[in-house]
Amino acid sequence: MYVTRVKTLAIEALHAAFDDQYPVAEFQGLHCSLEYPVDKSSFPEVWVRYSDTGPLRQAGISHVEDTDPVDGGRVAPYTRFRFEGSWEFVVVALSSVERDRVYDELVATIAWSGFDSLRGRFRSYLADNDLIDLTVRTDEIESTGESAEPGTPWGTDEVVYERTLAIDLIGDFTPDPETGVIVPLSKIVVTPTADLTLDDLSDSGFDSWH
């Protein structure tokens, strides 16, 4: 459901940025994947991983949303779920210089995308998607380590160099309760409800806010 889409969004956003218009010609068409590179032709690569950092939660008490009916279609009630997680971008290369250069370009694309129209396609692609409402922490990037180990997937003694950065994100989505398919955000109409009791508010922690 959402995990598959969150991972895919990261790859699609990277492809949108590192296309044939990327400002550094050397990294136009940079290989980005959800799978570790096993062929030499795939190096260098940005290998993307995702992990949850908090529980999956319903968006609110008695939270109900309806799909916008099309051509007289039925109005179906749904609820929204929220998640917290982290993307890890693992730069994999066959030299330390190449690894560091790709890493620097990745940082520039994530952190400075709000100031560069071409690199900004990474952020705008995420904002324009119609399935997951994402807020990505592009102002804080964590470097989670680097490595250099001999041995390649194709059986040579070449050294594989890696360096990883991570960024936090939060998001929400609305699944179809019958199929599990995520409902497009553009089809959702928020319907407020007031069928709450004082016990509901207490259980939600509302009383601790005052």
- Tell me if residue 1 falls in helix, strand or coil: coil
Amino acid identity, position 24? V
Predicted pLDDT at 180: 77
Predicted pLDDT at 39: 96
Q: Which of 4, 169, 8, 1 is nearest to 84 (CA)?
A: 169
Predicted pLDDT at 75: 54
Predicted pLDDT at 94: 98
Predicted pLDDT at 204: 47
Please answer whether residues 195 and 172 qualify as being in contact, where contact means their C-beta atoms are separated by less than 8 angstroms. Answer: no
Predicted pLDDT at 209: 37
Ranges of the chain whose pLDDT falls below 70: 60-77, 113-114, 188-210
DSSP code, position 72: T
Q: Phi, psi (5° rounding) for residue 12?
A: -65, -40
Average pLDDT, rounded, for the chain: 85
- Name the H helices within the chain: 2-17, 96-111, 121-128, 198-204
Predicted pLDDT at 105: 95
| Whole-angstrom distance, CA of residue 175 vs CA of residue 193 | 19
pTM score, two decimals?
A: 0.81
Predicted pLDDT at 205: 47
